[in-house]
Amino acid sequence: MRVCNLASGSSGNCTYIETENTRILIDNGKPLSYIFDALNELKVDPATIDAILITHEHSDHIKGIEKFARTYNTHVYAHYEISEIIRNQIHIDSSQFNFFDSDFHIGDLHIQPFPLPHDSKYCVGYRVSERDAVVSICTDLGHFSDDTFEAVKSSALIYLEANYDPEMLMSYPNYPPFLKRRINGPRGHLSNINCAKAIERLVKSGTRLVVLSHISEHSNTVNLAVSTIANYLESKNIIPNVNIRLDISHHEHRGTIFRINPTE
């Protein structure tokens, strides 16, 4: 598999995954021109995208889907719990919609959705496999539960939310108290330290590559997320760049291209 995050954050989210025969996007919250340019950097024709998979109905994950799908006649997949919302928000031909409630396949990719605790109608992460090569998308979650761990453990690569620093969140003047409570709540977003604790568990399951994702522009910084997480892991004798590689996704440009190959 070739995997690359095209954007991550409150201004829009999108991740690209391909195999030799299949190409998908996870979410699309960016304008068509942005996604076109990002895919062009990867030498990918947008018309060859087989499907867009939706995690949940918040605008930073879906606002770019309608124009993309209408332009390229792309199929759109979402959990049946948000089927009515998606039909009302994304106006494409009914034949392009695909609603699921369990595992499914797109080409040679096995897609395993799993629920995430987030304050949307229904939110899922995805475990995406090409045989034994596994990538998981695990963003927009208020806490990292045992069920979430079971869903993503042993993935070779995980995109995991490191959304906010609690002190920065509480001192940010432009967020009203209710929004701070929402972000900091069990169905909000994942803090840096809780991301670190999740990574501690994941390393023990065999994961060796985590991309810190959905980093807030207002209540976090890349340097703070990395240092908080690295310091916590080192306190548990887990050494970044030895036991685990940490990478970063970005708001306005694509991230690192990864190749996760199945064993023969």
Radius of gyration of the chain (CA): 17
b/e string for 31-40 if b means 16 or more Cβ within 10 A? ebebbbebbe
Angle 192-205/222-235 helices, nearest 10 degrees? 50
* C-alpha separations of 38 from 28, 65, 102, 212 in Å: 12, 15, 30, 19
pLDDT confidence of residue 263: 83
Strand partners, 35: none
Tell me the per-residue pLDDT of 138-166, one tens digit each, with 9 for 90 and over. Answer: 999 999 999 999 999 999 999 999 999 99
**Residue ranges in the chain whose pLDDT is less than 50:** none
Q: Mark 1-13 as b/e (b = at least 16 C-beta within 10 Å).
A: bbbbbbbbbbebb
CB 50 within 8 A of CB 63: no
Residue with tokens 């306005």: 252
pLDDT at res. 203 = 97
> CB–CB of 189/140 below 8 Å?
yes
Q: What is the pLDDT of residues 3-35, one digit of tens each?
A: 999 999 999 999 999 999 999 999 999 999 999
Residue 254's SS3 state is: coil
The encoded tokens of residue 211 equal: 């991309």
**Sequence ranges of the domains in the chain:** 2-258
- The CATH number assigned to the domain with range 2-258 reads 3.60.15.10
- Element at 258 (helix H, strand E): strand 257-259
**Cα atoms found within 13 Å of the Cα of residue 36, Cβ hemisphere only:** 9
Does pTM top 0.95 for this prediction? yes
Distance, in Å, from the CA atom of 51 to the CA atom of 16, rounded to the nearest integer, reads 10
Taking the C-alpha atoms of residue 48 and residue 56, their distance in angstroms, rounded to an integer, is 23
Give the pLDDT confidence score for residue 216 in this predicted structure.
97
Given its phi and psi angles, is residue 62 left (phi above 0), alpha (psi -120 to 50 degrees) or beta?
Answer: alpha
Output b/e per residue, 102-119; b: 16+ Cβ within 10 A.
Answer: eeeebeebebbbbbbbbb
pLDDT of residue 50: 98
